Amino acid sequence: MLRELRIENLLLIERAELRLGPGLNVLTGETGAGKTVLAHSLDLLMGGKARKGIVRVGAPEAWVEGVFDLPPEWNEDEELSELLDRIPAGSDEVVLGRRVSESGRTSAFVGGRSATAADLQLLAGRLIAFYGQHEHRRLTIGSAQLAMVDGAAGLEQQQRLADFREVWNRHRRLTGELEELLGRDMARERDLDLHRFELEEIDAANLTTGEKDAMGEERERLRHAEGLRESAAGAAVRLRGGEEADGAAALLAGALESLSGLRGIDPGLDELAGRVEGLALEVEDVGVELGRYLDAIEADPERLAALEERLDLIDRLERKHGGSIETVLAHAEWCRNEIARLEGGETREAELREEVEAAGQELEKAAGSLSRARRKAASELATRVSKDLEDLAMPGAELTIDLNPVAEGPGASGSETAEFMLAPNPGMPAQPLRDTASGGELSRVMLALAAGGAGDRRTMIFDEIDAGIGGNTAGVVGERLRDVSDGRQVLAITHLPQVASRAVRHFSIEKETGKDAVSATVTALEGDLVVEEIRRMLGAAEGDEAATRHARELVSANQ
């Protein structure tokens, strides 16, 4: 339900606020007073394009804001989840807004946060069903007509449609997967060859984690073997001595011998002697280790070549598969899994064919159930609407609904399309509604459909739905609007007292011409003000007592 509609600086309206309620709400006013401003404001809230010159003269911008009840079922709708995140948790309302600058640029808002016109179209389209003279094209769209048939079939049909779409989506997904698998036959062989080659190359390398570092160290030793030998040999001679000179070990032995003769006399000298003895032992030990190192060091060109080749192999594999031995081994595991998956393609193909066939049978069954219910609902809806058209000044008019099979097979909405056919006069052949009905006839067909229960539960907006009718037909239209508003919200922009007198809430728009500007004011009417407005709509002057009594009787009779 639309709780409030706020308008600022839009066309003739400087500021207006309509607090709407359930049931039938009406907006009335003199011709040219600005009733169509409401239609413009709702069109903006529904994401429509801003028309040129829509901002009130002298104002920097126009603003429209609508406060709606938040349907609880929206919380289960994945398509709306992102937009609902902008609404405070626990809120029972959603606020849609649209700002239009003087230059014509627009901004959209949901819950006070920036949005797009497409966001407003998505949300407002689920909140408002707008019917104006230009909006009757909706009745000529096949999908809309099919939705009306499903609506006439009741809640069970909505569940049938949901079940069908679930099966249809599964069948489409499985069919797509099978087609992709079949289309990849040649690519699969190519991929298998590539994965097998890469896996064989990696397995043949027999890589182990950490081996690259160890081999790198060994390669460096082999590359510098001669230098290492010369360095170690020079150090050994200086420590252990040679033919031409004593080494550090002999010199330390001599020093120790000099100190040993006076041991036990001075503790300080004894400590120093002990340290010299330790140095002598350490030098002797290092000299022995250097000798062993020299024995182990030798140039091995063959080993060096083998290491170079191995490290080149590792580097190449790393460059191809991620930069480290770990990523190379991970790629090998991925290749194994892909090979297993691709080699199982024939098995998956057989499984998919069985799944597609089973889903196809289930789809056929679901589509049949949907179609049977549609045929029954279409017949009943056409009969009911044709009967109502008799009361809406279309005597002899007959509506039929053709359900035509979809040539390419079931789609997202089932196995058929709907075409509303109208024979406006007896003896005339039925023609598609889009080809044969005038604007007024479309209006009355739409009202008959809504009154017949084929509409949804959105707020229904009727813009000049009663244009071109009067007399008894006007009363019938008023009754139909009152019927449609039972248990839901309807807003009608009207110039007929027979319609306005049936309203639960009545708003009037009045144009005022000042010295420099023209403006329009919207007022909520109650009591005698409603009677006065009905009298004006009857075409009577302010002092016409008979017209005033008639207006009061109209209002009283319809409350």
Percent of the chain with pLDDT over 90: 13
Is a pLDDT exceeding 70 seen at residue 139? no
Residues 26 and 83 grouped into a single domain: yes
Residues 15 and 58 in one domain: yes
The reply to whether 485 falls in a domain is yes
Cα-to-chain-centroid distance, residue 196: 40
For residues 472 and 511, membership in a common domain is answered with yes
Residue 393 phi/psi, 5° resolution?
60, 30
Domain presence at residue 449: no
The pLDDT assigned to 438 comes to 63
> Look-up: residue for tokens 């919207």?
522
In 82-224, the DSSP E strands lie at 93-101, 106-110, 113-115, 128-131
Same domain, 66 and 81: yes
Give the three-class secondary structure for 130. Answer: strand
Q: Which two tokens stand for residue 392?
A: 């809406």
Q: Which amino acid is residue 422, in one-letter code?
A: L
pLDDT tens, residue by residue, 205-227: 888 888 888 888 778 777 777 78
Closest CA relative to residue 228, chosen from 286, 289, 299, 287: 299
pLDDT at 518 over 70: yes
Are 61 and 95 found together in one domain?
yes
Distance CA 500, CA 27 (A): 8
59 & 120 share domain: yes
Q: Is the pTM of this model over 0.75?
A: no
* Residue 16 resides in a domain: yes
**Residue 110: pLDDT above 80?**
yes
**pLDDT tens digits, one per residue of 299-316:** 778 877 887 888 888 888
The pLDDT of residue 98? 92
Q: Are strands 459-463 and 489-493 parallel, antiparallel or unpaired?
A: parallel
C-alpha count within 13 angstroms, C-beta hemisphere, residue 12: 18
Whether residue 534 lies inside any domain: the answer is yes
Structural domain tally of the chain? 2
Confidence of residue 242 (pLDDT cuts 50, 70, 90): low
What's the rounded Cα separation, in Å, for the pair 335 and 191?
10
Q: Does residue 491 share a domain with residue 559?
A: no
Asked if residue 476 and residue 540 are part of one domain, the reply reads no
43 within some domain: yes
| pLDDT value for 467 | 67
Predicted pLDDT of residue 171:
93
Q: In sequence order, what E strands does 59-148 have?
A: 61-69, 93-101, 106-110, 113-115, 128-131
469 φ/ψ angles, rounded to the nearest 5 degrees: -130, 165
DSSP assignment letter at 109: E
Residue 98 belongs to domain with CATH number: 3.40.50.300
Do both 5 and 49 map to the same domain? yes
Segment among 82-86, 386-390, 447-451 with least mean pLDDT: 447-451
Domain-embedded: residue 433: no
Q: How many C-beta atoms lie closer than 10 Å to residue 35's C-beta? A: 22
pLDDT confidence band for 520 (50 / 70 / 90): confident
Give the length of the chain.
Answer: 559
Q: Which residues have C-beta within 8 Å of that of residue 63, sequence separation ≥ 6?
A: 6, 7, 8, 9, 10, 97, 98, 99, 100
Place of tokens 């989840």: 81
Q: Would you say residue 406 lies in a domain?
A: no
Binned at pLDDT 50, 70 and 90, residue 190 comes out as confident
Whether 101 and 13 map to the same domain: the answer is yes
pLDDT of residue 558: 64
In this prediction, residue 363 carries a pLDDT of 92
Bridge partner residues of 459 (DSSP) = 128
Q: What are the tens digits of pLDDT across the range 439-490?
A: 567 767 877 887 655 445 778 888 767 766 777 778 888 888 888 888 888 8
Residues 530 and 495 in one domain: no
Alpha-carbon distances, residue 473 vs 389, 442, 480 (angstroms):
10, 15, 10
* DSSP 8-state secondary structure symbol assigned to residue 424: -
536/234: higher pLDDT: 536
Q: Which of the two residues, 195 and 513, has the higher pLDDT score?
A: 195
Residue 296 lies inside a defined structural domain of this protein: no
Phi/psi region, residue 294 (left: phi>0; alpha: psi -120 to 50; beta: rest), is alpha
Position 402 confidence tier, pLDDT thresholds 50, 70, 90: very high
- Host domain of residue 515: 1-127+458-523
Residues 366-387: tens digit of each pLDDT: 999 999 999 999 999 999 989 8
Could you give the CA distance from residue 276 to residue 264 in angstroms, rounded to a whole number? 16
Dist CA 538 CA 544 (whole Å):
11
* pLDDT of 365 above 70: yes
Q: For residue 113, count other CB atoms closer than 10 A to its CB.
A: 14
- Looking at the fold, whether 484 and 540 belong to one and the same domain comes out as no
- Between residues 88 and 96, the one the model is more confident about: 96
